[in-house]
């Protein structure tokens, strides 16, 4: 089963559009974990096990592991997800984008070293920088389009040929890059009007939607503006609001509850 099939199966069988972000910050870990030698892995594994029933995907953020010299923990975490929760795909959030052999090595890093099922990439360098990822037909390629951060419009909203750049990205990915049917777009929950515009441009192409929870995106607006006609087409990502729902020893229980709450809230509007 390839990435897109796995994601679609989770939408249908688990009835969830929640993507659980895994962004470990040891300063926010419960006190009993902070000084443990394998704290990053233990914390993230507990979160994964508590939230898997509510997850359509997991999204570890590579910088949060690399900054802690915890790449080995990331590799073991993805292997744990595949072994303990088969069928829940993993999107490696690394936002890669480079030329030639460098892009090829980034694809090897994401898919072969870490074992991710999909990876986020930056389209700024053009098609050739994306090609090594696109060629992996069984893997997902999640392309930045209209990101959730406050400064994203500095370049993404610039008008070229009578349309903002993010709309050109959306159309190009849907029309030209998706020959293996393995592409998604990143469209932020913080821009509901743009979410609707991108959906109108690309049909049923799936979206990864960051920005709910700590960033303040509105769940109802995301579903109404971004979902496909069958009520799917979205992986709505939440990280901090789930990971750090409690700073006590019940952190995993609280994370599981927060993920179920978000799942149920999303499903109210589908």
Sheet holding 140-146, edge to edge: 57-60, 18-22, 234-238, 207-209, 183-187, 140-146, 118-121, 91-96
3-state secondary structure the chain: CCHHHHHHHHHHHCCCCEEEEECCCHHHCCHHHHCCCCHHHHHHHHHHHHHHHHCCEEEEEHHHHHCCCCHHHHHHHHHHHHHHCCCCCEEEEEEECCCHHHHHHHHHHHHHHCCCCEEEECHHHCHHHHHHHHCCCCCEEEEEEECCCCCCHHHHCCEECCEEHHHHHHHHHHHHHCCCCCEEEEECCCCHHHHHHHHHHHCCCCEEECCEHHHCECHHHHHHHHCCCCCCCEEEEECHHHHCCCCCCCHHHHHHHHHHHHHHHHHHCC
Do the beta carbons of residue 77 and residue 116 sit within 8 Å? no
Query: Per the residue annotation, which of 28, 59, 95, 139 is the catalytic one?
Result: 95
Q: Is 95 a catalytic residue?
A: yes
**Which residues carry out catalysis?**
95
């Amino acid at each position: 089963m390839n990435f897109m099939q796995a994601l679609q199966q989770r939408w249908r069988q688990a009835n969830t559009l929640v993507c659980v972000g895994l962004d470990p910050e040891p300063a926010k870990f419960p006190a009993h974990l902070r000084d443990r030698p394998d704290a990053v892995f233990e914390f993230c594994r507990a979160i994964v096990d508590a939230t898997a029933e509510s997850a359509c995907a997991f999204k570890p953020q590579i910088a949060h592991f690399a900054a802690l010299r915890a790449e080995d923990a990331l590799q073991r975490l993805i292997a744990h997800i595949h072994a303990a929760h088969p069928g829940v795909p993993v999107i490696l959030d690394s936002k890669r984008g480079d030329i030639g052999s460098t892009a090829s090595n980034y694809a090897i890093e994401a898919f072969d070293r870490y074992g991710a099922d999909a990876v986020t990439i930056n389209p700024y360098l053009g098609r050739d920088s994306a090609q090594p990822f696109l060629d992996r037909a069984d893997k997902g390629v999640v392309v930045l389009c209209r990101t959730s951060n406050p400064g994203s419009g500095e370049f993404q909203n610039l008008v070229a040929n009578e349309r903002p750049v993010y709309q050109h990205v959306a159309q190009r990915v849907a029309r030209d890059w998706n020959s293996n049917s393995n592409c998604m777009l990143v469209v932020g929950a913080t821009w509901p009007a743009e979410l609707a515009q991108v959906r109108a441009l690309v049909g049923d192409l799936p979206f990864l939607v960051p920005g709910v929870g700590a960033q303040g995106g509105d769940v109802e607006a995301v579903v109404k503006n971004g979902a496909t006609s069958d009520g799917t087409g979205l992986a709505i990502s939440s990280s901090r609001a789930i990971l750090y729902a409690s700073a006590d020893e019940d952190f995993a229980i609280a994370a599981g509850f927060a993920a179920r709450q978000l799942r149920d809230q999303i499903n109210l509007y589908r």
